[in-house]
């Protein structure tokens, strides 16, 4: 079996496989064996509660920023889909909807529950 290269040359498939194995051997990549998983799991340090709290808060903030930008993008999409005389009303509806959602979020006090064990 031969593999066609981009310049019109053909290379035997065995040569391509041998070069991949040689490259892997020279780069020091070792195959992952099933026996290595226990040693890796034992060597992995546990995440402390302080680090978990920081990472959960960071993820919560990133998610909030993405939702804010999504709402702005959706407002731009809707403004582009209506006639020019209705753009301000459509943007007002989007701002009102986002404000109501923010107030409901504040009222219900939604926050990440990292202290539950």
What is the span of the domain harbouring residue 23?
2-43
User: In terms of domains, do 66 and 94 share one?
Assistant: yes
Going residue by residue through the chain, which has 117 residues, state the pLDDT in tens, using 9 for 90 and above: 555 555 555 555 555 556 666 666 666 666 666 666 666 666 667 788 889 999 999 999 999 899 999 999 999 999 999 999 999 999 999 999 999 988 988 888 766 665 655
Cα separation values, 103 from 5, 64, 70, 100, 106, Å: 61, 14, 18, 5, 5
Q: 76 lies in a domain?
A: yes
User: In terms of domains, do 102 and 65 share one?
Assistant: yes
Q: 117 lies in a domain?
A: no
pTM: 0.48
């Amino acid at each position: 079996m031969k593999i066609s290269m981009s310049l019109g040359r053909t290379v035997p498939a065995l040569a391509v496989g041998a070069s991949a194995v040689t490259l892997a051997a020279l780069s020091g990549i070792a195959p992952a064996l099933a026996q290595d998983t226990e040693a890796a799991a034992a060597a992995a340090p546990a995440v402390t509660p302080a680090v978990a709290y920081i990472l959960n808060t960071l993820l919560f903030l990133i998610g909030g920023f993405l939702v804010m930008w999504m709402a702005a993008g959706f407002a731009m999409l809707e403004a582009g889909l209506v006639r020019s005389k209705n753009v301000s009303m459509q943007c007002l509806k989007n701002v009102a909807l986002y404000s109501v959602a923010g107030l409901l979020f504040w009222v219900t006090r939604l926050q990440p529950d990292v202290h539950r064990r």
